[in-house]
Amino acid sequence: MALVTLKPYKEPELYLECNNISPDAFAGKTAAEISELEVREGKTRVRLGDYFEVSGKPGDTAEQTEIHIAGDCSRIKYLGTKMTAGSIKVDGNADMYVGGWMKGGKIHVTGNVHSFCGIAMEGGEITVDGNAENYVGSAYRGDWRGMRGGTIRIRGNAGNDIGTFMLGGTIIIEKNAFIHVSTHAEGGCVVIKGDVEGRVGGQMVKGDIYVLGKIQYMLPGFKKIATVEKEIDGVSARFNHYIGDLGERHPRSKGKEIYANLFVMAS
């Protein structure tokens, strides 16, 4: 792997939209060329080099390129958008849309991320050591094709609307989540290791949810069918198995209706 280091040296007055910070955009360029890449501050076009000191040299392909942002990205949006390979590491926080529409590679944020982390993701891995705001791994506004693959791991808490319209892949929230988990989902797996307030699996057609803590308010559309032993993300436990959302349309396979599964740790 060839390493490129970006060192933020100036805080933007607005937010910077940096779709261009990705191994795909950097691969094969020199540090000077990377500095010239266009990013936007509001409606103004600026250069990446206006805000970051670029050093090192990327690989010839995205796969061989490692990006290290040695500083806080609290005002940087769209890190790693559509990236297909390689890696990005952020020392600190990042703003919205980290790893949006990502197809492969790895992103590691050591601080917190804002909303829309991993939106409409298709593959790859995102790890956030801190908390995430809302819309982790959700679909783009209006779209019915949400996250399709890959893994998002939030080591802290997450807000609302996790995995909306999810079709595949895995989202793991290691602490608590607020409301709306896997709304409208037709696949994929969401694991919440802490508690959730409610609205878990509303209008969910297919897919799995694991809650290792408590759900404060269960939706009435889920029905308990069994208690089962399960292992999920390194934890073995007994879970109450619910199916749902019974108010939603469900596909049939071999004469049986397919439901979404909600596993809540048995107390």
Question: In degrees to the nearest 10, what's the CA dihedral of 99, 161, 177, 90?
Answer: 10
Only segment of 109-117, 136-144, 152-160, 232-240 that touches other proteins (CB under 8 A): 136-144
Instruction: Considering the complex, state which of residue 144 and residue 217 has its C-beta at the smaller distance from other proteins.
Output: 144
Instruction: Considering the complex, state which of residue 31 and residue 246 has its C-beta at the smaller distance from other proteins.
Output: 246
Query: In whole angstroms, how close is the CB of 181 to other proteins at the nearest point?
Result: 21
Sites for other proteins among residues 15-44 (CB under 8 A): 43
Strand partners for 77? 17
Query: In whole angstroms, how close is the CB of 37 to other proteins at the nearest point?
Result: 15
Only segment of 24-32, 65-73, 138-146, 232-240 that touches other proteins (CB under 8 A): 138-146
Q: Does 257 bind other proteins (CB under 8 A)?
A: no
d(C-alpha 24, C-alpha 255), whole Å? 46
Q: Does 252 bind other proteins (CB under 8 A)?
A: no
* Host H or E run for residue 244: strand 235-244
Query: In whole angstroms, how close is the CB of 183 to other proteins at the nearest point?
Result: 14
Instruction: Considering the complex, state which of residue 69 and residue 121 has its C-beta at the smaller distance from other proteins.
Output: 121
Query: In whole angstroms, how close is the CB of 249 to other proteins at the nearest point?
Result: 6
In which region does residue 155 sit, left (phi positive, over 0), alpha (psi from -120 to 50) or beta (all else)?
alpha
Tokens of 28: 């094969």
Q: 235 φ, ψ to 5°?
A: -115, 125
Query: In whole angstroms, how close is the CB of 142 to other proteins at the nearest point?
Result: 4
User: How buried is residue 195: exposed, middle or buried, by Cβ count under 10 Å (0-12/13-18/19+)?
Assistant: middle
Instruction: Considering the complex, state which of residue 212 and residue 260 has its C-beta at the smaller distance from other proteins.
Output: 260
> How many Cα atoms sit within 13 Å of 101 on the Cβ side?
7
Query: In whole angstroms, how close is the CB of 57 to other proteins at the nearest point?
Result: 29
Q: How far is CA 149 from CA 122, 240, 242, in A?
A: 4, 26, 24
Single-letter amino acid code for the residue at 148: R
Q: Does 143 bind other proteins (CB under 8 A)?
A: yes
Instruction: Considering the complex, state which of residue 69 and residue 79 has its C-beta at the smaller distance from other proteins.
Output: 79
Instruction: Considering the complex, state which of residue 42 and residue 220 has its C-beta at the smaller distance from other proteins.
Output: 42
Q: 194 φ, ψ to 5°?
A: -105, -145
Query: In whole angstroms, how close is the CB of 139 to other proteins at the nearest point?
Result: 8
Query: In whole angstroms, how close is the CB of 72 to other proteins at the nearest point?
Result: 27
Q: Does 140 bind other proteins (CB under 8 A)?
A: yes
Q: Does 141 bind other proteins (CB under 8 A)?
A: yes
Residue 211's contacts (CB-CB under 8 Å, 6 or more residues apart) are: 192, 195, 196, 200, 262, 263, 264, 265
Q: How many residues of this chain interact with other proteins, rule: CB under 8 A?
A: 7
d(C-alpha 178, C-alpha 76), whole Å? 25
- Contacts with other proteins by CB under 8 A lie at 43, 140-144, 249
